[in-house]
């Protein structure tokens, strides 16, 4: 294999490697956006749960009599 062929092969591999790195960067970026969105949704759900919980010392849902009694 000549030096020119080796250089050409290395350039081809480098090109594929750069494409792969760019694709992986885009994937990581999208995943980070999804993680941030999920974090915000969990935070909103925690706030919603805290607001819907009965006041301390009050009755819990488990202690309530079902409506059919």
Give the per-residue pLDDT at 61.
63
**What are 38-57's pLDDT values in tens digits?**
999 999 999 999 888 765 55
Conformational region of residue 44, where left means phi above 0, alpha means psi within -120 to 50, and beta covers everything else: alpha
Give the per-residue pLDDT at 39.
98
SS3 content of the chain, % helix, strand, coil (to 5): 75, 0, 25
Chain-wide mean pLDDT for the chain? 89
Give the per-residue pLDDT at 59.
61
> What percent of the chain lies above the pLDDT cut of 70?
84
Give the per-residue pLDDT at 62.
67
Phi, psi of 50 (to 5 degrees): -65, -35
């Amino acid at each position: 294999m000549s030096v020119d062929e080796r250089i050409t092969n290395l350039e081809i591999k480098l090109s594929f490697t750069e494409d792969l790195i760019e694709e992986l960067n885009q994937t990581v970026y999208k995943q980070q956006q999804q993680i941030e969105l999920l974090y915000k949704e969990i935070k909103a759900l925690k706030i919603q749960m805290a607001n819907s919980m009965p006041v301390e010392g009050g009755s819990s849902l488990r202690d309530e009599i079902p409506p059919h009694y």
